[in-house]
Structure 1
């Protein structure tokens, strides 16, 4: 126990080094211990009560909600520390919901969140994670501002716009699509010196051609989920051009057949094109080498050329570049169940494509651990800065737990 406490103090001193004042470093460590300490609720009041002094409550509240420290400085320090510790092979972008009962918190609105699987009253946070097969860490965050909170949006809600001042939302913050927030976080993270050449995301980001083109413009490869309705041409399709008769505008080369949905392309390839792949071993008992259940399915990989106006406008030549279309088609299913798009090289092995596509499970694990054990969704403050401060410190707590797991066997790890 004493050893873990000492390690926590050393870790906190390193990550909190950017704090300008001694009292900020002190209350940062107190808040971090509160998130790591046993207790059902990890909001300010119950955490302060567990430390046994009422003065702690006001100090912690001021530190989180009104203190002017910039969370980006702490996130940069955390990213440097965790990149060295886990050796990430991908950046993973995702978002998660923070369910709310009231309407006073910054950016709360009725909107869809995968956390609840429906439209509900919530905030939505977009996150960036460093990830490899055995570990991951959330190192950057953005609070999504719905159009109803943006005075410049046609969908602006006067009541929500009026609450911006009380919530401390900066005047220059408006509605930005989640995929653009992801690119903004990528730019910021790279400005810290974190260079990871691969991006992974689900279909909420992969369906946006502008997101994929933004990654390519930044020199990054991607493996992203896509919807079944995305259209494309087979890689061997050849555009043809009608003869020019010398009158009017010269004809443009076109594909002889219309683009088809990615689902249709995979079904046309047939079940025989599916190959079995095991991408990892899970945590449940099973027949794998470690005694755990094998994560196993069948996959089809095709070379295609995605369709769409944005793709054509971004392409210099007559044909869009080739990409990988990856589809999971379990033996027991009548048709494929999940799809991904990737611009990795044409000689990339199927097993590599599958393992990268499935690496997103680590982010679901991060969210679950941070919400269930580290109080990620317990913040009861209403301010823009308070939310960003809280999620940053929850990420620091999660990173410390990850480092403990990587350096100790389970029997050696004690609660902080």
Structure 2
């Protein structure tokens, strides 16, 4: 255990090495240890009780809520360390819900979270994770502000706007869509020198055409989920120029056939196009060597031409 504590202290010292004040470096290291100690609650008071001689609740609370330090500096150091340790094959974009009661926490609202699998009262944090098949680490994150907390939004809620000052929210911070927060963090992480070989995320981000376009503009390869209700044209579809009378603006190129949903395109491909894929062991008992059933499904790979609102019109795009 002594060796583990020494390694943890060395890691924490590296994260907070750029802090000019010794007290910030000390309580930053203590806070990291408090997060990793056994115990479900990660708020300051129960953490302080677990930290022994470093369990100064007031000092820890001051470090988190009042002491001026740049979190981007800590995130950059963490990203450098994890990039070297993991050798990432992908950057995963995700979000996590933090269930909350009361009115003392910032950006709490009734919204969907996968943590609970439903709409409930929570905070939502958007995060970036460096990952391989065997390891991952969160290296950048943002707290999502619902429109109800933004005084400039038509959806602003007077009670929540009134709590901004008490929650320590700067006046300049407003509602930003989750996909835009993800792009902003990708830009920041790249500015630190972090190489991004591939961006991976679910339909919560992949459904936003602006997010996909943002990745393309940054020349980043990606594999994103989209909903089955999204529309597209088959890969062999070609837009045509409608008849033009020679006056006014020429009509835009159009596809002769209507769009189809992704679900319909997959069904049209037929069962023969599906390929079985097993990707990892699950939690249910099975007959594999490990004793657990492997996760398994059938997948269809199709080349298509995206359609719908938000998709840029090109004469012969992919």
Give the structure-2-normalised TM-score.
Answer: 0.94
User: Could you tell me whether the CA contact under 8 Å between 2:126 and 2:182 is conserved in 1?
Assistant: yes
| Mean Cα deviation higher: 303-312 or 229-238 | 303-312
When residues 289 and 303 of structure 1 are mapped into structure 2, their CA distance, relative to the original with a 3 A threshold, is: farther
Q: 1:319 aligns to what? A: 316
Partner residue, 2:159: 159
Q: Secondary structure at the match of 1:164?
A: coil
Q: Could you say which residue in structure 1 is the equivalent of 2:42? A: 42
C-alpha distance in structure 1 between counterparts of 2:6 and 2:284, whole Å: 33
| Corresponding residue of 1:379 | none
Residue in 2 aligned with 1:12? 12
Within 1, Cα distance between the matches of 2:246 and 2:42? 74
Could you tell me which residue of structure 2 aligns to residue 352 of structure 1?
none
> Paired residues, what number?
318
Q: Distance in 1 between matches of 2:217 and 2:279?
A: 30
Name the residue aligned to 1:192. Answer: 192
- SS of the counterpart of 2:301? strand
Say what the alpha-carbon RMSD is for the aligned residues.
1.9
Q: Distance in 2 between matches of 1:170 and 1:55?
A: 30
1:235-246 matches, cutoff 5 A: 235-246=235-246
Q: Distance in 1 between matches of 2:220 and 2:54?
A: 50
Q: Name the CA shift for 1:60/1:246 in 2 (closer, same or farther; >3 Å).
A: closer
Where do residues 282-361 of structure 1 align in structure 2 (5 Å cutoff)?
A: 282=282, 286-288=286-288, 292-313=292-313, 317-321=314-318
- Displacement, 1:263? 0.3
CA offset digits 1:125-162 (Å, max 9, x no partner): 11111111110000111111111111101111122111
TM-score (norm 1): 0.72
1:284 Cα deviation (Å)? 6.1
Aligned to 1:129: 129
Aligned match of 1:79 = 79
Distance 1:219 1:198 in 2: 10
Contact 1:232–1:259 under 8 Å retained in 2: yes
1:310 match: secondary structure: coil
Give SS of 2:312's match.
Answer: helix
Q: In the TM superposition, what whole-angstrom CA distance separates every residue of 1:145-198 from its partner, at most 9, and x where no partner exists?
A: 111111101111122111111111111110000000100111111111102131
Structure-to-structure mapping, 1:250-269, within 5 angstroms: 250-269=250-269
Query: In structure 2, how many angstroms separate the alpha carbons of the residues matched to 1:118 and 1:294?
Result: 27
248-257 or 199-208, larger mean C-alpha shift: 248-257
Deviation at 1:248, TM superposition (A): 4.4
Structure 2 unaligned segments of length 5 or more: list them.
none
How far does residue 289 in structure 1 lie from its aligned partner after superposition? 6.0
Q: Which residue number corresponds to residue 67 of structure 1?
A: 67
Q: What are the ranges of 5 or more consecutive residues in structure 1 without an aligned counterpart?
A: 322-416
284-293 or 85-94: bigger deviation: 284-293
Aligned partners of 1:23 and 1:125: how far apart in 2? Answer: 28
SS of residue in 2 equivalent to 1:212: helix
Q: What is aligned with 2:89?
A: 89
| Partner SS for 1:67 | coil
C-alpha separation between the residues in 2 aligned to 1:55 and 1:300? 55
**Which residue is 1:219 aligned to?**
219
Conservation of the 8 A alpha-carbon contact between 1:311 and 1:320: no
